[in-house]
Amino acid sequence: MSDLLSVFLHLLLLFKLVAPVTFRHHRYDDLVRTLYKVQNECPGITRVYSIGRSVEGRHLYVLEFSDHPGIHEPLEPEVKYVGNMHGNEALGRELMLQLSEFLCEEFRNRNQRIVQLIQDTRIHILPSMNPDGYEVAAAQGPNKPGYLVGRNNANGVDLNRNFPDLNTYIYYNEKYGGPNHHLPLPDNWKSQPISTEGRWWPITRMTSPLSTGSEGSAAPPAPPRLTTSSSRRYVEKQLVPPGELGAQELAKVYSYAHGWMFQGWNCGDYFPDGITNGASWYSLSKGMQDFNYLHTNCFEITLELSCDKFPPEEELQREWLGNREALIQFLEQVHQGIKGMVLDENYNNLANAVISVSGINHDVTSGDHGDYFRLLLPGIYTVSATAPGYDPETVTVTVGPAEPTLVNFHLKRSIPQVSPVRRAPSRRHGVRAKVQPQARKKEMEMRQLQRGPA
């Protein structure tokens, strides 16, 4: 009898280990349990941390995947996924949880593609940027929630209209000259608690060249597609120059890896290649996309993933299978282009050095460790590094289609220009008189005449 019980318990444990993931909506407590469950199953490659609290005090938990969690490794790029910015748009939130479980499970199964991705990349996943709004939307019950119920945070603020508006600054700089990146924050900007934390995470503290915000659906309901700019055509215009791996190219990577997005026809509307420029679709200001692009090193696209803001649970498995490959391929795009270290002549790291690519009017900067990352398509480029007090360095780089090209810079300190020593002007009657060169010449000639021939 004991042998039969032992076999039964063994089979039960085996079934538990291989049981398929349940596809359901996760309330806040369920979300937290899921994140810590993943961390417990993959403790060596994950870390759960909070970037702050919402208006109602809920933690904004992030799940990190890395072979060295909690540490930025020089030359290892970072990527972030943000879900559920609008609380009533729930699909992105569920996809982020499914992705977290998938990465952990495949790493444990020694899937070499996932193992290499986690070893070479630091991945941050924020399933819900607006947990307060989600709870309001989810509380509506099994029937479809009210169309806008739960969209905003607990203060009634749309978080994707609450980032600093830097467009005025970039307009001015384009016209009169000025930086095309890392624009300063306006003095009069006031944020919501979530946006305050979200703006600093991790885009300004870390070297994060790639990001995406995922939403459930648009307003009005629109087909699954990606937007490549939010408030205007600025981002798309800057990303169009040949060579830069920009918003359009990144959006197509996701769309064509998706189960059906690339077809363009969904929800009774059509978008070529399954993507659109956000400003062409509808204009907004103070969005997260433009803020990422203009204030940080981070390129970001927005995923509109469903015709339904809060899809029924029976649709979640289909949505996951349709997005799974696209989510992985998007993460892999962070390894395109060039990367390297910026050092001084004594091999000290140089932070905040500016990396410029000829023909592309958008620069990036090196991080605290001196490393930088620049997304580029295959081609030949002229790349420069500059830093205050150092001579610039320019190199020609060939970028291939596979691994990023390593391009290091060693900057030498500038030699100060020594001004010629000037004789002090003469003093007459207690007043310093400025002697002009012509007057000085005449004075010297007069003295020579007074002395007579040598």
- Farthest CA pair distance, the chain: 133
Closest C-alpha among 129, 178, 175, 122 to residue 150:
129
* End-to-end CA separation in angstroms for the chain: 131
Identify whether the C-beta of residue 269 lies closer than 8 Å to the C-beta of residue 223: yes
Secondary structure (DSSP) of 267-319 = TTEE-GGGEE-HHHH---SS-HHHHHHHHSS-EEEEEE--SSSS--GGGHHHH
SS3 149: coil
CA 182 – CA 356 distance, rounded (Å):
13
SS3 329: helix
Positive/negative CA dihedral, 349, 121, 72, 363: positive
Two tokens at 313?
Answer: 């649970």
CA 135 – CA 34 distance, rounded (Å):
17
Identify whether the C-beta of residue 336 lies closer than 8 Å to the C-beta of residue 209: no
Question: Is 304 labeled as catalytic in the residue annotation?
Answer: yes
Catalytic residue among 78, 197, 244, 304: 304
Closest C-alpha among 237, 193, 231, 210 to residue 296:
210
CA 334 – CA 356 distance, rounded (Å):
18
CA 127 – CA 95 distance, rounded (Å):
8
Q: How far is CA 291 from the centre of its chain?
A: 10
Identify whether the C-beta of residue 294 lies closer than 8 Å to the C-beta of residue 166: yes
CA 452 – CA 454 distance, rounded (Å):
6
Catalytic residue numbers read: 304
